[in-house]
Chain A
């Protein structure tokens, strides 16, 4: 479905046109870490998720919301500004966007070391470069939590 070759022409052009406007982020950093079964994993999503009583995202929001690792998934809602993607899957099962139950299962099975105490959400319609300040701030917080693997999940 997200193969560009299978999308209608107008939709394909919409996505391809964005590429020429993408900034150059320079040399790709690449750092190592412990074996997977020793890693502490956090999810950072750009799906515009937050707790029900938290502030909804606004147009151009470049800040993040915290989703506690032990938060009831029933209290996680979505206020992404875009309407151009399917939400029915998320409505049915949070794990299709935010795979927290699957991650906990892999922790139980010993595939990963542990699940972070906190996860985070941005709202992906914002321009990538506007997220830098908050992303670096997040990295500092995750380091304090002992996170050694971040899963970045879009919507």
Chain B
């Protein structure tokens, strides 16, 4: 982020940036930066908090009035408390028991997707938008496509412009967005952290993603290994799983 400030300002256009990791910004020394103490992914603090977002935006714009730089200021407020993601994990979401007794993980994914459909549609109507749709696949197609990568016969890439790794990443991103948007519409007002833990530890799709990660690490397709190492399972979940294993040992 800070590099862009150097490059664009050198071309004569003033810049001001939000900083999420103060120490990194201090090292890069961009022309103007406002450090904010918000969780990664939320540079303007909290969703549906227009007054707070406006306050952050005004503070950022105010940096343009500083006569000289580089400027690195601290935003003085934390984001609204209900959005800090640190609430205790208490997830009321549950799926109906499997109706077939099948232990087929892909079938369990499809069943979850069906069960979440009314909540996803509700979220879409309430928000007037959805972030699902980067792969172009339906959810059932995305589930089948992703699940094939946990086995020995991965499906052919569905978009000629994508590597296998990117195609799988897009399918997984869509699935995760679908789950996140759906569960956020259910009762419980879950924190970001609770949603994340629900997805990874309580859903068949979360378990499938972990299986896909292991299969991709073994794959000879070089586009799948970076996905498995960096872009499928969050670091926080990797560490939580290690702690669980350590506790169980």
A-to-B contact residues, CB < 8 Å: 1-4, 8, 10-11, 14-16, 18-19, 22-23, 25-26, 28-33, 36, 39, 41, 44, 46, 52, 55-56, 58-59, 73-75, 77-79, 81-97, 99, 101-103, 105-106, 111-112, 122, 124, 128-129, 131-132, 135-136, 138-140, 142-143, 147-155
Contacts and interface: CB of A to CB of B under 8 A. Distances in A.
B133 interface: yes
Q: Size class of B's contact patch?
A: 35 or more
B17 A152 contact: yes
Contacts of A97: 41-44
Contact of B41 (A58, A85, A131, A139): A85
A39 B37 contact: no
Nearest to A4: B23
A154 B64 contact: no
B211 interface: no
21 contacts: A2-B40, A19-B23, A23-B3, A29-B31, A31-B9, A31-B12, A41-B61, A58-B163, A59-B227, A77-B131, A81-B169, A81-B231, A82-B230, A83-B232, A99-B57, A105-B54, A129-B3, A136-B11, A143-B13, A149-B64, A154-B17
Interface in B73-114: 79, 83-86
Interface stretch (B137-145, B150-158, B173-181): B173-181
Interface of B: 1-24, 27-31, 36-50, 53-54, 56-58, 60-62, 64-65, 67-70, 79, 83-86, 127-131, 133-134, 161-163, 165-166, 169-170, 173, 176-177, 180-181, 184, 192, 195-196, 223, 226-227, 230-236, 239
A69 B155 CA distance: 38
A148 B1 contact: no
B4 A79 contact: no
Contacts of A105: 50, 54
Contacts of A135: 3-4, 7-8
B1 A15 contact: no
A97 B36 CA distance: 13
